[in-house]
């Protein structure tokens, strides 16, 4: 429980530095537009998943037949809080100058797939069209879509930093906090499995495990970019239109 709320606090705080930096600069140049858009949609999916798994009795009953419910209150609060902060950053990306950035076709494709998947999944689940067409399966699909977004959303930011040869506009405090919270999240998953003696419990919530692991990998890349590859962090670079 302590680890859970600790990583919740660290991960939640990690969303603020970028929003504050954007407000101080009155610009989002240096922040990937693809990353921003995917982040909003990803946490929207994750919020629906957590809220449904925690509050929806029918879904909890279905999930209990397959595995012990592992969605905790801090998971619900974290996802909703993250969605609000990501939405704020998304609004900043609309309001503030972002240089020559445009949403890539790959990101448009992923967002379009989500927009198509959700209504189709709702119709299938409501009609009980097949054995696998349940509300639980729909929520699980959303969670896997969130995992897919989390694995790919950082790539545009890595590429943007490399093209600009700078990390100006991408807040490193966010990266440090994200790395620490990822470690705590993985530690909680391992301790939960160890205490219960059932290591399959990790497979019961692969999204939570995958989020922690994937974020730590990309955070390591960002730390190398910021402190080793592109140490020039003068504000003049921040106004680059690229």
Q: Compare 8 and 45 and report the one with higher pLDDT.
A: 45
* Token pair 């509300």 in the structure block, residue: 135
Q: Chain-centre distance of CA 238, in angstroms?
A: 25
* Predicted confidence (pLDDT) per residue in 5-29, tens digit: 676 787 789 999 999 999 999 999 9
* Predicted confidence (pLDDT) per residue in 81-96, tens digit: 999 999 999 999 999 9
Q: Compare 154 and 202 and report the one with higher pLDDT.
A: 154
Angle at 135 between CA 110 and CA 118, to 5 degrees: 25
Domain positions in the chain: 2-238
Q: Where are the alpha helices (DSSP H) in 65-104?
A: 73-95
* Residues 107 and 40 sit within 8 Å (Cβ to Cβ): no
- The C-alpha atoms of residue 46 and residue 207 are separated, in whole angstroms, by 9
* Residues 182 and 141 sit within 8 Å (Cβ to Cβ): no
Minimal CA–CA distance to 178: which of 59, 63, 85, 56?
85
Angle at 67 between CA 63 and CA 70, to 5 degrees: 80
* Residues 242 and 101 sit within 8 Å (Cβ to Cβ): no
The pair phi, psi for residue 165, each rounded to 5°, is 55, 45
Q: Chain-centre distance of CA 90, in angstroms?
A: 14
* Residues 160 and 3 sit within 8 Å (Cβ to Cβ): no
pLDDT confidence band for 80 (50 / 70 / 90): very high
Q: Compare 153 and 78 and report the one with higher pLDDT.
A: 153
């Amino acid at each position: 429980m302590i680890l859970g709320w600790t990583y919740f606090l660290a991960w939640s705080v990690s969303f603020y530095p970028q929003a504050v930096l954007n407000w101080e600069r009155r610009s989002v140049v240096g922040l990937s537009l693809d990353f921003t858009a995917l982040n909003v949609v990803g946490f929207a999916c994750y919020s629906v998943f957590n809220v449904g798994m925690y509050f929806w009795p029918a879904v909890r009953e279905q999930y209990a037949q397959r595995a012990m419910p592992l969605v905790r209150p801090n998971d619900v609060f974290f996802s909703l809080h993250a969605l609000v902060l990501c939405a704020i950053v998304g609004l900043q990306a609309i309001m503030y100058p972002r240089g020559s950035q445009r949403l890539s076709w790959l990101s448009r494709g992923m967002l379009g797939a989500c927009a198509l998947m959700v209504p189709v999944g709702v119709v299938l689940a409501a009609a009980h069209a097949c054995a696998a067409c349940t509300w639980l399966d729909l929520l699980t699909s959303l969670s896997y879509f969130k995992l897919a977004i989390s694995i790919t959303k950082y790539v545009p930011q890595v590429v943007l930093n490399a093209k600009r040869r700078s990390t100006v506009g991408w807040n490193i405090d966010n990266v440090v906090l994200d790395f620490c919270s990822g470690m705590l999240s993985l530690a909680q998953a391992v301790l939960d499995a160890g205490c219960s003696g059932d290591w399959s419990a990790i497979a019961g919530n692969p999204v939570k495990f995958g989020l922690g692991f994937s974020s730590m990998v990309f955070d390591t890349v960002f730390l190398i970019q910021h402190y080793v590859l592109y140490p020039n962090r003068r504000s003049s670079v921040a106004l680059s239109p690229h």
